Amino acid sequence: MSLSRNTWKFLPPYVVPLFSQSRVDGLLNGIWTLFNTSSYADGSARVTGSGLAWTFFRTSSADSASVIGPTAVVYGYPPTMSVMSQSVIFAGTASAPTALPTMAPGGSFVANGLYLAIQKQANSFQYRSWLSGSIFNSGSSGINLGGLARSSSGFAPIMTTMTAIGIIHAWECQEAVAVACYITSSGNTANALTFAGIAGAFVDPESVDTVQDAETDGRLYSVATSGVTVGTTFLASTTDFLNHNATAASSKFVTYQPNTDNRIILLTVDQRTMSYLNTTTSGRIVTFPIYVKDNNSRFIGRLREIEAMRNAASGYIFRSGSVDAGYSLGSTNLAVQNSVFLGAI
């Protein structure tokens, strides 16, 4: 049985100041700024903690949230909070800390990289340390459960080699967030110019089994990152974005095994490269569901309102009359390449 629809909203593009474009703390501050804006790209009001608007915080490179220093962690939770109390965490530091953080399967920490993780049953009001296995004390819908620790998904790399990032795009829905970081200084549209990450309850298990197929709330909590750049034909690949790659610096796609702290690696089913042929006779765009499997080829679920579409520039807004119908997230914001559609209605 399918979960209720996620409806995505596009936040105003963030132009990274020149002095911050190659600094991980600069990108983290940009992400925090995006998720604390008061309006969406379409001009509609955004009120943190209501509607689709997530609540995000930031803290320094020190373990304690009370010590001031370069931003190392940006974390937040959704307005729609289930008993699983998810929190999404962006992190990174210019130099390697003494104690390295827990990494997603197959990953390794590199200084000055940008990473993404998720923790379920997290009490976001009791942040511990991004360097510990459990970044927060555990809680359920903000209620502390005796301070018990729940391990995070581990950090997956959005990018491991810091490159000058000129623009950051971000999208949010009831139960997930997505970001895309664009290299804009070179103007080179021949190569993939996007680093991206998606985190939250964006995989629908399409099952009523809340023991083996889904968490007790019927959801799956997952992280997908590009690692290097999102390839221009990533929808036709088995080792690119939305697929788990065993190489440490490359793409990661993991989900929690329901009712455990174990992580399962995921792969997209039936990859397809979309083209301009994927429109109706009248020119309307056709989108296709994206299904995922584990490395044993067992069905895991469907991406929630993240669908394959024809080639498009990343960050494009598709409208139905005067209403946003959805948005593209893809390999470059400068040219028409592979992209997915984030549905807004």
pLDDT in tens, 53-107: 999 999 886 544 444 678 899 999 999 888 888 999 999 998 888 889 999 999 9
Check whether 149 has a pLDDT greater than 70. no
The Cα–Cα gap between 53 and 4 comes to 17
Q: Residue range 170-185: average pLDDT?
A: 92
- Strand, coil or helix: what is 234? helix
Predicted confidence band at 275 (pLDDT cuts at 50, 70, 90)? low
Q: Residue range 207-227: average pLDDT?
A: 94
Check whether 214 has a pLDDT greater than 90. yes
Q: Residue range 193-200: average pLDDT?
A: 94
Predicted confidence band at 126 (pLDDT cuts at 50, 70, 90)? confident
Q: What is the CA radius of gyration of the chain?
A: 18
Kindly state the tokens that stand for 232.
Answer: 């221009």
Q: Residue range 3-28: average pLDDT?
A: 91
Contact present, 170 and 74 (Cβ < 8 Å): no
The Cα–Cα gap between 220 and 266 comes to 12
pLDDT at 99: 86
In a domain, 277, yes or no: no
Q: Describe the strand order of the beta sheet including 71-77 as a list of residue ranges.
A: 55-60, 71-77, 87-91, 114-119, 156-159
Range scoring the smallest mean pLDDT among 8-17, 55-64, 253-262: 55-64
pLDDT at 146: 45
pLDDT more than 90, % of the chain: 58
Kindly state the tokens that stand for 120.
Answer: 């379920």
pLDDT at 140: 52
Domain span holding position 44: 9-269
Check whether 274 has a pLDDT greater than 80. no
In a domain, 296, yes or no: no
Check whether 284 has a pLDDT greater than 90. no
pLDDT in tens, 130-140: 988 888 887 65
- Strand, coil or helix: what is 327? strand
Contact present, 173 and 155 (Cβ < 8 Å): no
234: nearest Cα among 345, 328, 112: 328
- What mean pLDDT is reported for the chain? 87
Quick one: how many helices (H) and strands (E) in the chain? 1, 21
pLDDT at 311: 87
In a domain, 328, yes or no: no
Number of independent structural domains in the chain = 1
pLDDT at 30: 95
In a domain, 285, yes or no: no
pLDDT in tens, 286-339: 888 999 999 999 999 999 999 998 888 999 999 888 889 999 999 988 888 889
In a domain, 92, yes or no: yes
- Strand, coil or helix: what is 338? coil
Which residues, at least 6 apart from 39, have a Cβ–Cβ distance to it below 8 Å? 12, 45, 46
In a domain, 140, yes or no: yes
Q: Residue range 139-143: average pLDDT?
A: 50
pLDDT at 98: 83
Range scoring the smallest mean pLDDT among 42-46, 95-99, 156-160, 170-174: 95-99
In a domain, 336, yes or no: no
